[in-house]
Structure 1
Amino acid sequence: MTTPALVREPAPLAPVGAARRLTFRAVRPHLGTAAGVAIIAVLLWRLGTGVFLDGLRRIDTPTLVIGLAIGAVTTVLSAWRWQSVARSLGLRLPLGPAVGDYYRALFLNAALPGGVLGDVHRAVRHGQSEGDIGRGVRAVVLERAAGQIALTVFGAAALLVLPSPVRDQARDFAPLVAAGLVGACAVVAALRMNRAPGRRAGALRATLAEARRALLSRRNGPGVALSSAAILAGHVVMFVVAARVAGSAASVAALTPIAVLALVAMGLPLNVGGWGPREGVTAWAFAAAGLGADRGLATAVVYGVLSFVAALPGLVVLVVRWIAALRYSRAEVSSSKTAPKESARLARSSFPFSADPREGRPMTPDSV
């Protein structure tokens, strides 16, 4: 007598809402890239590919050299600002490695979609080398926040004072924005006064204390403010150079507010290596200022190329450190095959990548 075969019940289907959430999570990282591609496609459809190619043809060797020089100044100042912020948080960061890491982050930001992956890599690697990823990430966040604060302050002043396509609108909305900020600060202050102390409140106070120490203290505040202003000035100068190369004869006073709008657009996570919103906003701003949308697109194209060229030393840093890491791994494999006595002698040598962690020397080429 045969036993009847067991019939397996079908597995329950996942809820439709859960499936939609999983699909959205898978698609969300690519939405910014798709938006950047869409913006570029619309611009090329409306203005034609000739404007884009004309901007590329106008770039010559002296222009590339100027872009490299401006990029070198802004990168060194940015690395110094990062070093100051990191030291205020108790992290060790020599200036030389900071410049190399910053160049590498700029190249990854320009070469990879999203425009922030290089900064994420910079934050995590520095945190790993110092044994505190959280503080490493906060140091990068605060360093970038300093740049955004400088852009906000200078941009608001430029848009309100200098002739710009949005000056009238900015003047109309400025009192409302100021009132909203004051109201928000009053609400936050009231909540902090009436809120019972808790774990989250303590974490928030610690974070705010770190921010004050890194950006507003007497030791760090002036240097961070001056370096941020100089970095922003370097970006504006590069934009003016790009406009001159693209054939625009507009004055610096007319181009500065447009440069601010372009820099703000570059911070939007809707780009492909920085391309997308910058070109759209620049073309619109040039058209609104009576300078021609095609000239604005050509200016944005030249600026994008100069920004990428300014970040190219990061590729050199990436390749050099990759080769150093490869050599170190090979040396480690070969040393593991030697006699114990020879291994002990190598460990006591002055070769930095074979040092013992307790000696305080770096263990990987990326942390040098």
Structure 2
Amino acid sequence: MSSRELTIADRVISDRSGAYVIAEIGHNHEGDLKRAEQLVLSAAAQGASAAKLQKRDNRTLFTRAMYDQPYEGRNSFGPTYGRHREALEFGRTEYTHLAQVAKEAGIDFFATAFDHPSVDFLMEFDPPAIKIASADLTNTPLLAYAAKTGKPLIVSTGGGTGDEVRRACDTVLPINQNLALLQCTAVYPAGPADLNLSVITRYRADHPDVVIGYSGHDLGVEASLVAYALGARVIEKHFTLDQSRPGSDHHFSLTPPELGALTAGLERTREMLGSPDKRCSAQELAAVRKLGKKLVAARDLPEGHLLTERDVACKSPGDGLKPYEMDRLLGRRLAAAVRADEAFTLELLAADAPTVGGAADVPAVDGAADVPTVNG
């Protein structure tokens, strides 16, 4: 059995658990603390396990040219890309407030760290986990730095290769065993053919001690349900209050009703998967009795009769000896007469040992004189 297990706050995530659902707010709060608070509370109300933001140290994260490049259009919150990012960035005041809101709502709260200063910033709030974005799958210095915090790491793998995923795991696991690896596609939004959910199965085989998950940029909830069925136990989806709002993420984010449908659907999926142990449940017993078969007398049979296949029939209801027990009857004599359609029981059999192949009906050979002697 796999030993994969991860604990985030007081939640144990494993193959046997339900899904740990992350409502990725990102910057869908648009720099508005009140909207961010509404998103956290709504995520909690819809059954999410965690609400998550994104944290960047914008001045050190981007080159000067990228920071200063013009950034205009409907989704812009500033005249340059750097000013745009700064307008969406929360600081200590906002994080302190939202952490308290989340605590009171009973939902975990953490963020994606895009750089070393952001890891340090988040650690001031003692987060239950740290997320690493797909863009930093190859950023082994950041992976190692975040791993050294001892916090569970949730690493997305969009745009990566198998070798890059293995390198990331080889970087993190010697430092920190608390890792979740998420299949992800860096397409926004991602269509069905982009998702490659079978990678979840590959990750589970290649990393038997790592919790596997799914970070989805697809529309709706269907892919997340399939991902859970394939073994993903951390499910991350972007979350918004209004898909029509300006911003690059709103249009493929889940609305509150959709997030509620996701959490409920994941729990139903867990129920449907059930146990891998095949057994007849209590709920099946009535149908098995009604439609199953038992062994009965094919016709009236007298006491002492030697049973052959012609004497035994398989008929419903299935409340007696099962057809696979027929060999226990054949070649045995009846201790009492039975009527046609009467169910056979082992108590109806005489105490004599069974005769293999019905040999009692074959006359015995008298003496050895008639038996040919080979070479003799």
Q: Which fold has the larger relative contact order, with Cα–Cα distance below 8 Å and residues 6 or more apart in sequence?
A: 1
Q: Which has the higher helix share?
A: 1
Query: Which has the larger Rg?
Result: 2
Q: Which has the higher strand share?
A: 2
